[in-house]
Structure 1
Amino acid sequence: MNATSRLSFPHSRPRFLRRALALGLTCALLGGTLPASAQVQGALGGMRTFPDAALRGTLTITAMSDATLNGRAIRMAPGMRLFSPQNTLVMAHSVLGQSFKVNYLIEPSTGMLLTAWILSQGEADQPRKGSDTVDRNYRSEYDAVTK
Protein backbone atom coordinates (compact mmCIF):
# COMPACT_ATOMS: atom_id res chain seq x y z
CA MET A 1 0.00 0.00 0.00
CA ASN A 2 1.50 3.35 -0.96
CA ALA A 3 1.28 6.64 1.00
CA THR A 4 -1.33 8.28 -1.26
CA SER A 5 -3.87 5.47 -0.89
CA ARG A 6 -3.71 5.68 2.93
CA LEU A 7 -4.38 9.46 2.89
CA SER A 8 -7.20 9.43 0.35
CA PHE A 9 -10.80 10.09 1.35
CA PRO A 10 -12.51 6.77 2.20
CA HIS A 11 -15.66 7.52 0.16
CA SER A 12 -15.83 8.14 -3.52
CA ARG A 13 -16.50 11.79 -4.40
CA PRO A 14 -19.86 11.28 -6.23
CA ARG A 15 -21.30 9.27 -3.34
CA PHE A 16 -20.19 11.92 -0.83
CA LEU A 17 -21.72 14.73 -2.90
CA ARG A 18 -25.05 12.88 -3.23
CA ARG A 19 -25.22 12.43 0.56
CA ALA A 20 -24.36 16.08 1.20
CA LEU A 21 -27.02 17.21 -1.27
CA ALA A 22 -29.63 14.92 0.30
CA LEU A 23 -28.78 16.22 3.79
CA GLY A 24 -29.02 19.84 2.60
CA LEU A 25 -32.41 19.27 0.98
CA THR A 26 -33.73 17.55 4.10
CA CYS A 27 -32.65 20.47 6.28
CA ALA A 28 -34.24 22.98 3.89
CA LEU A 29 -37.55 21.10 3.85
CA LEU A 30 -37.66 20.74 7.63
CA GLY A 31 -36.78 24.41 8.14
CA GLY A 32 -39.66 25.48 5.91
CA THR A 33 -42.23 23.66 8.03
CA LEU A 34 -41.76 25.49 11.32
CA PRO A 35 -44.91 25.69 13.41
CA ALA A 36 -46.78 28.99 13.34
CA SER A 37 -45.87 29.61 16.99
CA ALA A 38 -42.18 29.79 16.03
CA GLN A 39 -42.81 32.55 13.52
CA VAL A 40 -43.02 36.24 14.45
CA GLN A 41 -46.53 37.39 15.33
CA GLY A 42 -46.69 41.17 15.52
CA ALA A 43 -50.04 42.34 14.25
CA LEU A 44 -51.40 38.80 13.98
CA GLY A 45 -52.55 38.58 17.57
CA GLY A 46 -49.45 38.61 19.77
CA MET A 47 -48.41 41.85 21.41
CA ARG A 48 -44.79 42.99 21.28
CA THR A 49 -43.10 44.28 24.39
CA PHE A 50 -41.39 47.65 24.16
CA PRO A 51 -38.69 49.15 26.39
CA ASP A 52 -39.99 51.23 29.31
CA ALA A 53 -38.16 54.27 27.89
CA ALA A 54 -40.01 54.04 24.54
CA LEU A 55 -42.31 56.97 23.78
CA ARG A 56 -45.30 57.26 21.41
CA GLY A 57 -45.48 59.54 18.41
CA THR A 58 -46.09 60.04 14.70
CA LEU A 59 -43.06 59.46 12.47
CA THR A 60 -42.59 60.63 8.89
CA ILE A 61 -39.29 59.81 7.18
CA THR A 62 -38.41 62.74 4.92
CA ALA A 63 -34.92 61.73 3.74
CA MET A 64 -32.39 58.98 4.35
CA SER A 65 -31.13 60.61 7.56
CA ASP A 66 -33.95 63.05 8.38
CA ALA A 67 -37.46 62.61 9.70
CA THR A 68 -40.21 64.46 11.50
CA LEU A 69 -41.39 63.15 14.83
CA ASN A 70 -44.62 64.67 16.13
CA GLY A 71 -44.21 67.49 13.61
CA ARG A 72 -40.65 68.35 14.64
CA ALA A 73 -37.53 67.71 12.56
CA ILE A 74 -35.18 65.05 13.94
CA ARG A 75 -32.03 63.36 12.65
CA MET A 76 -31.91 59.58 12.47
CA ALA A 77 -28.92 57.82 14.03
CA PRO A 78 -26.60 56.06 11.55
CA GLY A 79 -27.79 52.66 12.84
CA MET A 80 -31.46 53.60 13.15
CA ARG A 81 -33.78 50.59 12.97
CA LEU A 82 -37.41 50.78 11.88
CA PHE A 83 -39.56 47.72 12.61
CA SER A 84 -42.85 46.80 10.92
CA PRO A 85 -45.91 45.60 12.89
CA GLN A 86 -44.69 42.04 12.14
CA ASN A 87 -41.34 42.99 13.77
CA THR A 88 -39.33 42.82 10.54
CA LEU A 89 -36.85 45.51 9.53
CA VAL A 90 -38.18 48.19 7.20
CA MET A 91 -35.76 49.98 4.89
CA ALA A 92 -36.17 53.74 5.33
CA HIS A 93 -36.02 54.47 1.59
CA SER A 94 -39.10 52.29 1.03
CA VAL A 95 -41.34 54.44 3.26
CA LEU A 96 -40.20 57.98 2.38
CA GLY A 97 -43.01 60.48 2.92
CA GLN A 98 -45.32 58.05 4.73
CA SER A 99 -46.52 58.73 8.29
CA PHE A 100 -46.79 56.04 10.95
CA LYS A 101 -47.90 55.82 14.56
CA VAL A 102 -44.77 54.51 16.33
CA ASN A 103 -43.14 53.78 19.62
CA TYR A 104 -39.62 55.17 19.52
CA LEU A 105 -36.32 55.54 21.37
CA ILE A 106 -34.08 58.61 21.24
CA GLU A 107 -30.34 58.15 21.77
CA PRO A 108 -29.71 60.25 24.93
CA SER A 109 -26.26 61.68 24.17
CA THR A 110 -26.97 62.79 20.58
CA GLY A 111 -30.74 63.28 20.58
CA MET A 112 -31.01 61.22 17.38
CA LEU A 113 -33.80 58.76 16.63
CA LEU A 114 -32.35 55.32 17.40
CA THR A 115 -35.23 52.81 17.05
CA ALA A 116 -38.88 53.01 16.00
CA TRP A 117 -41.59 50.37 15.91
CA ILE A 118 -44.53 50.89 13.52
CA LEU A 119 -47.60 50.00 15.57
CA SER A 120 -50.48 47.73 14.74
CA GLN A 121 -53.96 49.07 15.58
CA GLY A 122 -54.07 47.00 18.78
CA GLU A 123 -50.69 48.30 19.91
CA ALA A 124 -51.65 51.89 19.04
CA ASP A 125 -54.78 51.57 21.22
CA GLN A 126 -52.62 50.85 24.29
CA PRO A 127 -51.86 54.05 26.25
CA ARG A 128 -48.22 55.19 26.30
CA LYS A 129 -46.40 58.36 27.21
CA GLY A 130 -45.30 60.34 24.19
CA SER A 131 -46.85 62.85 21.85
CA ASP A 132 -49.18 64.26 24.51
CA THR A 133 -46.33 65.10 26.92
CA VAL A 134 -45.27 68.66 27.64
CA ASP A 135 -41.83 69.67 26.31
CA ARG A 136 -40.88 71.89 29.25
CA ASN A 137 -39.96 71.36 32.87
CA TYR A 138 -42.14 74.06 34.46
CA ARG A 139 -45.86 74.76 34.86
CA SER A 140 -47.81 77.97 34.40
CA GLU A 141 -51.20 79.20 35.59
CA TYR A 142 -52.58 78.23 32.18
CA ASP A 143 -51.65 74.56 32.80
CA ALA A 144 -53.61 74.58 36.08
CA VAL A 145 -56.69 76.09 34.40
CA THR A 146 -56.73 73.65 31.46
CA LYS A 147 -56.63 70.54 33.63
Structure 2
Amino acid sequence: MYRCALSLTLAATCLVAHAQTHRPFPATAMRGELQITQFPDARLNGKPARLAPGARIKNEVNLWVPPAGLTGQKLVVHYTVESSGLIMDVWVLNPAELANKPWPTTPAESATWQFNPGNQTWIKR
Protein backbone atom coordinates (compact mmCIF):
# COMPACT_ATOMS: atom_id res chain seq x y z
CA MET A 1 0.00 0.00 0.00
CA TYR A 2 2.77 2.46 0.95
CA ARG A 3 4.72 1.67 -2.22
CA CYS A 4 1.59 2.19 -4.35
CA ALA A 5 0.87 5.57 -2.73
CA LEU A 6 4.49 6.60 -3.23
CA SER A 7 4.33 5.61 -6.92
CA LEU A 8 1.14 7.63 -7.42
CA THR A 9 2.72 10.64 -5.73
CA LEU A 10 5.82 10.33 -7.91
CA ALA A 11 3.70 10.03 -11.05
CA ALA A 12 1.68 13.10 -10.11
CA THR A 13 4.88 15.04 -9.41
CA CYS A 14 6.29 14.05 -12.81
CA LEU A 15 3.09 15.18 -14.54
CA VAL A 16 3.18 18.54 -12.78
CA ALA A 17 6.89 18.94 -13.56
CA HIS A 18 6.24 18.23 -17.24
CA ALA A 19 3.33 20.67 -17.28
CA GLN A 20 5.66 23.34 -15.91
CA THR A 21 7.94 23.08 -18.93
CA HIS A 22 6.17 22.74 -22.26
CA ARG A 23 2.66 21.72 -23.14
CA PRO A 24 1.63 20.72 -26.66
CA PHE A 25 -0.20 23.59 -28.36
CA PRO A 26 -2.06 23.34 -31.66
CA ALA A 27 -0.68 25.17 -34.68
CA THR A 28 -3.78 27.39 -34.55
CA ALA A 29 -2.80 28.81 -31.15
CA MET A 30 -1.78 32.46 -31.18
CA ARG A 31 0.12 34.32 -28.46
CA GLY A 32 -1.39 37.41 -26.89
CA GLU A 33 -2.20 39.35 -23.77
CA LEU A 34 -5.59 38.51 -22.27
CA GLN A 35 -7.46 40.36 -19.58
CA ILE A 36 -10.84 39.11 -18.38
CA THR A 37 -12.92 42.21 -17.70
CA GLN A 38 -16.28 40.74 -16.72
CA PHE A 39 -16.98 37.24 -17.94
CA PRO A 40 -17.55 36.59 -20.81
CA ASP A 41 -16.09 39.95 -21.86
CA ALA A 42 -12.34 40.35 -22.15
CA ARG A 43 -9.61 42.37 -23.78
CA LEU A 44 -7.25 40.57 -26.13
CA ASN A 45 -4.15 42.51 -27.13
CA GLY A 46 -5.87 45.66 -25.91
CA LYS A 47 -9.01 45.16 -28.02
CA PRO A 48 -12.48 44.06 -26.88
CA ALA A 49 -13.02 40.30 -27.15
CA ARG A 50 -15.42 37.70 -25.85
CA LEU A 51 -15.00 34.19 -24.49
CA ALA A 52 -17.05 31.44 -26.10
CA PRO A 53 -19.76 29.78 -23.97
CA GLY A 54 -17.62 26.63 -23.67
CA ALA A 55 -14.28 28.39 -23.28
CA ARG A 56 -11.60 26.55 -21.32
CA ILE A 57 -8.80 28.33 -19.47
CA LYS A 58 -5.81 26.41 -18.12
CA ASN A 59 -3.27 27.95 -15.75
CA GLU A 60 0.53 27.66 -15.82
CA VAL A 61 0.46 24.07 -14.54
CA ASN A 62 -2.31 23.01 -16.96
CA LEU A 63 -5.17 23.01 -14.44
CA TRP A 64 -8.57 24.37 -15.43
CA VAL A 65 -9.42 27.69 -13.80
CA PRO A 66 -12.74 29.56 -13.81
CA PRO A 67 -12.55 32.82 -15.78
CA ALA A 68 -13.96 34.83 -12.85
CA GLY A 69 -10.86 33.93 -10.83
CA LEU A 70 -8.68 35.75 -13.37
CA THR A 71 -10.72 38.96 -13.62
CA GLY A 72 -8.54 42.04 -14.00
CA GLN A 73 -5.23 40.19 -14.44
CA LYS A 74 -3.17 40.81 -17.59
CA LEU A 75 -1.92 37.41 -18.69
CA VAL A 76 0.34 36.32 -21.53
CA VAL A 77 -1.44 33.38 -23.11
CA HIS A 78 -1.76 31.11 -26.07
CA TYR A 79 -5.34 31.02 -27.33
CA THR A 80 -7.52 29.65 -30.09
CA VAL A 81 -10.68 31.15 -31.53
CA GLU A 82 -13.73 29.39 -32.92
CA SER A 83 -15.19 30.10 -36.37
CA SER A 84 -17.40 32.90 -34.99
CA GLY A 85 -14.33 34.71 -33.59
CA LEU A 86 -14.97 33.94 -29.91
CA ILE A 87 -12.02 32.84 -27.76
CA MET A 88 -12.28 29.09 -27.15
CA ASP A 89 -9.10 27.67 -25.55
CA VAL A 90 -6.70 29.64 -23.37
CA TRP A 91 -3.42 28.53 -21.83
CA VAL A 92 -1.72 30.87 -19.35
CA LEU A 93 1.98 30.54 -20.16
CA ASN A 94 4.64 29.45 -17.70
CA PRO A 95 8.21 30.86 -17.86
CA ALA A 96 9.53 28.07 -20.12
CA GLU A 97 6.69 28.60 -22.60
CA LEU A 98 7.15 32.37 -22.51
CA ALA A 99 10.78 31.88 -23.50
CA ASN A 100 9.73 29.84 -26.55
CA LYS A 101 10.02 32.53 -29.24
CA PRO A 102 9.05 33.42 -31.84
CA TRP A 103 5.35 32.55 -31.61
CA PRO A 104 2.79 34.08 -33.98
CA THR A 105 0.40 36.69 -32.67
CA THR A 106 -1.84 36.84 -35.75
CA PRO A 107 -3.27 34.33 -38.23
CA ALA A 108 -1.34 36.14 -40.98
CA GLU A 109 1.95 35.38 -39.23
CA SER A 110 1.07 31.72 -38.66
CA ALA A 111 0.14 31.38 -42.34
CA THR A 112 3.62 32.47 -43.42
CA TRP A 113 5.65 30.71 -40.70
CA GLN A 114 6.34 26.99 -40.34
CA PHE A 115 5.27 25.10 -37.19
CA ASN A 116 7.11 22.09 -35.80
CA PRO A 117 4.65 20.32 -33.48
CA GLY A 118 7.32 17.92 -32.18
CA ASN A 119 9.34 20.58 -30.41
CA GLN A 120 6.64 23.29 -30.37
CA THR A 121 8.64 25.86 -32.31
CA TRP A 122 7.88 28.25 -35.16
CA ILE A 123 10.31 29.18 -37.94
CA LYS A 124 9.88 32.39 -39.87
CA ARG A 125 10.13 31.63 -43.58
Q: How does 1:14-33 map to 2 (within 5 A)?
A: 30=5, 33=8
Change (3 A) 1:76 1:52: same
Within the alignment, does 1:60 sit opposite 2:20 as a pair?
Answer: no
Tell me the TM-score normalized by structure 2. 0.73
Aligned length: 105
Q: Any conservation in 2 of the 1:104–1:115 contact (CA below 8 Å)?
A: yes
Q: Where in structure 1 do 4 or more consecutive aligned residues deviate above 6 Å?
A: none
The SS at the match of 2:18 is: coil
2:91 aligned with 1:117, yes or no? yes
Relative CO higher for 1 or 2, CA cutoff 8 Å, sep ≥ 6? 2
Q: Distance in 1 between matches of 2:49 and 2:33?
A: 12
AA aligned to 1:113 is I
Matched-pair contact (CA < 8 Å) for 1:83–1:118: yes
Using the TM superposition, give the Cα deviation of residue 75 of structure 1 relative to its aligned residue in structure 2, in angstroms.
Answer: 1.1
Tell me the TM-score normalised to structure 1 length: 0.63
- Going by fraction, where is strand more abundant, 1 or 2? 2
1:77 match: secondary structure: strand
1:106 aligned residue? 81
Matched, 1:49 2:14: no
Q: Which amino acid aligns with 2:87?
A: L
Map Cα deviations across residues 70-116 of structure 1 (whole Å, 9 max, x no partner): 011111100111110100011111111101000000002x1100011
Structure 1 runs not aligned, ≥5 long: 1-25, 135-147
The amino acid that maps onto 1:58 is E
C-alpha contact 2:28 2:80 (8 A) present in aligned 1: yes
Between structure 1 and structure 2, the one with the greater Rg is 1
Q: Distance in 2 between matches of 1:106 and 1:42?
A: 23
**2:18 & 2:67 partners in 1: Cα distance?**
22
